[in-house]
Amino acid sequence: MGKMLAFPVLDRRIFWLLLAIVFSQIDVVINRSFTVGHKCFLKDGQPFRYASGTMHYWRVPSEYWEDGFYKMRAAGLLAVDTYVIWSLHEQEPGEFRFDGMLNFTRYFELAQKHDLLVILRAGPFIAAEVDMGGLPYWLLRKNPNMVLRSTDPTYLYFVQRWYDVVLPLIKPYLYANGGPIITVQVENEYGAYGCDIKYMNTLRDMFRKVLGNDIVLFTNNDAEDGYLKCGRCDGALITGDFGTPTISGNNVTYYVNNLEKWNPDGPLVDSEFYVGWLDVWGSPFATVPTSELIENSKTLLDRNVSFNYYIFRGGTNFGFNAGAGEGPYQPVTTTYDFDAPITEWGDPTEKYLAIRELLGKYFPLPPGPVPQPSPKGAYGPVQLSYVGNVFNVLEQLCPEGPVYSQYPMSFEMLKQGHGFILYRNVITKKFRDPAKLSIPVVEDRAYFFVDQEPVGMIDHGVELFSISISLEPGQTLDILVQNGGRGRFYPTNNPKGILSNVTVDGRNLTKWAMFPLHLPHFPAANFRPSRILEIRNEYRYKPGAAFYSTEFMIDKALDTFLKMDGWTTGYAFLNGRNLGRYWPGQGPQVTLYVPGVFLQEKKPNVLEIFEMETAPCSQANTCIMEFVDTPIINGTVPAIHAADKYRQRFPRKY
């Protein structure tokens, strides 16, 4: 036999102390519970209500999550709220991402570290002003006739497959399992979309199968009778969403009373108490007065209503992730500041201080100083050089070459989720001069080139679908189509690209070559500059669908803002990260937020611009752009038009 291992003999008192500690920790986990009581929640058996705030993990660099949680808790909040965004986690079928800014389990852990509970809104549809409401674009390729947000078997198959992956990741973080998650939402605002209780109950069963019964499920809808009736499911708490009179039309007393009719035993919850509103290109920056927000917040607190400030920490629609408003088509801005108490760039505001003062009268505030704004970097002007237009760098943008088809194909069928596709046709027929070129269905903006010279543009947003054009046999017609974002609330089967025949004087153009353009998206697995830098300065400057680039150095990386005035519309890329869309002439956003963690200290930083129209360049092929320390997200916009009037009359549809 081998030698027996010798263990030190523990003092009996130490042994029993350690044993008591072990059992006390087991007891903490065993006795953790969060349930629905009479007119209140019960947390570990005790009456509980909360004031919460939303911070979307994919809209805030993961390096800043902890700062956000600290500031939210310092404001007196007891919980944080976020959606789970399917479209970013599964950008192509079966390819799942949970790293970096998509690592929501790390988000849960940091929230718990800062003594914040978590309200989780796991979809599958989330709205949230993102492309297709957070549903993956490729659903439209798998089955073009699929009925989204329904009991359509194809749709439910992919939802179930997604939940089989994501719900097991969530389960360990439920409150009953020792984690911070106290409630989980089923779908989102379904009552404004449909009225299929069977569909809602099917989703509920998917949640229960994995998460079990030790979690409070809830639904959330506009706090009006029809929405609450159609958006509910059996066995889930009915909650509403409503803001102040500026946003929702009535004060909160009206909505609380209506919600109480549907949930007389309570608890009453406003799951989206709006601190501001979303913004679309070309419409004024939306705000809610602080005094109005505080007055209505006090009413909720005095009525014992739990509520969630939406949004509490602003964020950014990086990449191509912004959706669009329905009705008149209006793309959502890159900034998702939302007039929030904590800005897109993480600074507390006057609204933050007022909320903190109010909540401090109802909940104990944690110790520590009042959070202050962080320093910003004013790095000044940088000089960009013209690289070439889309035709000069087409091989780099589409290395696999074109797809050929008799008729144009959609983004979805070409496996292009976002961004741009170049449609090419060599003219073989003789037409009048000028001729009428029409595309009855194009989503969303199309730029026309004849032999690589720009000749016009049509835009779905203003219902412009034809142009006058001169075409000769042998000439090449290129149509560069931009996907400006799919509908963020009514994700019907609305694919992107050229979706009809292209006609010239009523005659179809056939035999198309289509080039999906691979620009840096978000989030990218590896952040690196594109290959267009390799051919810089080889081409003569031409406006339209062109690239510009520069390298610059900084000593200290701070948050900063890229000022885009003078440029027309396009996308900016920093060190291979897509900062999002700019469109300063439309407004209200003029600057793009650049998180300091996207910058490199004492190393070359690569800035690339893809400008769709005209850049402010000199004859020397150079342009100037400036990094400033003050954002402009509430700039001037064009004169009010029909889309603005519609938006003001029916704000909830946006």
pLDDT tens for each residue of 596-626: 999 999 999 999 999 999 998 866 567 899 9
What whole-number distance in Å separates Cα of residue 498 and Cα of residue 425? 13
- DSSP assignment string, 10-42: PPHHHHHHHHHHHHHHHHHHHT--EEE-SSSEE
State the Cα–Cα distance between residues 79 and 182, nearest whole angstrom: 9
Which CATH architecture group holds 400-517? Sandwich (2.60)
User: How many CB atoms are located within 10 Å of the residue 647 CB?
Assistant: 23
Would 380-389+522-628 and 400-517 be classified into the same CATH topology?
A: yes
Is residue 603 a contact partner of residue 339, using CB atoms and an 8 Å limit?
no
CATH among 3.40.50.2300, 3.30.360.10, 1.10.10.10, 2.60.120.260 for 380-389+522-628: 2.60.120.260
Fold classification of 31-359 (topology level): TIM Barrel (3.20.20)
Q: Evaluate whether 283 touches 647 at the Cβ level (below 8 Å).
A: yes
- Which residue from 408, 440, 401 is spatially nearest to 423, judged by alpha carbons? 408
State the sign of the Cα–Cα–Cα–Cα dihedral 580, 585, 589, 595.
Answer: positive
522's tokens: 């978000």
| Distance, CA of 448 to CA of 596 (rounded, Å) | 38
Residues 300 and 275 sit within 8 Å (Cβ to Cβ): no
Burial of 555 from C-beta contacts in 10 A (0-12 / 13-18 / 19+): exposed
Three-class HEC string of 565-602: CCCCCEEEEECCEEEEEECCCCCCCCEEEECHHHCCCC
CB 630 within 8 A of CB 561: yes
SS3 126: coil
C-alpha count within 13 angstroms, C-beta hemisphere, residue 526: 3
pLDDT at 566: 92
Cα–Cα nearest to 197, from 217, 166, 167, 219: 219
From residue 189, how far is each of 193, 313, 493 by CA, in Å? 7, 21, 19
Cα angle at 56 between 415 and 230, to 5 degrees? 80
DSSP per-residue letters across 423-447: EEEE--S---SSEEEE-SSEESEEE
Predicted confidence at residue 540, as pLDDT, reads 74
Pairwise CA distance, residues 441 & 162, whole Å: 32
Tell me how many degrees the CA angle 24-25-27 measures, rounded to the nearest 5: 65
How many residues are there in the chain?
654
Q: Where are the domains of the chain?
A: 31-359, 380-389+522-628, 400-517
Residue 489's pLDDT is: 74
Per-residue pLDDT reduced to its tens digit, 385-399: 888 899 999 999 999
Q: How far is CA 467 from the centre of its chain?
A: 34
Give the type of residue at 81. D
- The residues assigned a catalytic role are 189, 272
Q: Provide the pLDDT for residue 622.
A: 77
Is 194 within 8 Å of 151 (Cβ atoms)? Answer: no
8 A C-beta contact, residue 185 and residue 204? no
The pair of structure tokens assigned to 85 is 């965004």
Task: Give residue-wise pLDDT tens across range 540-577.
Answer: 777 789 999 999 999 999 999 999 999 999 999 999 99
Q: What is the largest CA-CA distance in the chain?
A: 102
**H/E stretch holding 404:** strand 403-405
Rounded to the nearest 5 degrees, what angle is found at the Cα of 89, between the Cα atoms of 84 and 91?
135
pLDDT of residue 154: 97
In the block, residue with structure tokens 């988000």: 107
Tokens of 556: 């200290």
Q: Mean pLDDT of successive 10-residue segments in the chain (654 residues)?
A: 42 51 47 95 98 98 98 98 98 96 98 98 96 95 92 97 98 98 97 96 98 97 96 97 95 96 94 97 96 98 98 98 85 97 98 98 95 97 92 93 98 97 97 96 95 93 88 98 87 83 97 96 75 61 88 97 96 96 97 98 95 82 91 91 48 45
Backbone angles phi, psi at 301, to 5 degrees: -65, -40
* pTM more than 0.85: yes
Token digits for 503?
């006609």
Measured CA distances, 10 to 15, 47, 89 (Å): 6, 42, 50
Say how far apart CA 100 and CA 149 lie, in whole Å: 29
3-state SS record for 455-502: EEEEEHHHCECEEEECCCCCCEEEEEEEECCCECCCCCCCCCEECCCC
Distance CA 80, CA 108 (A): 9
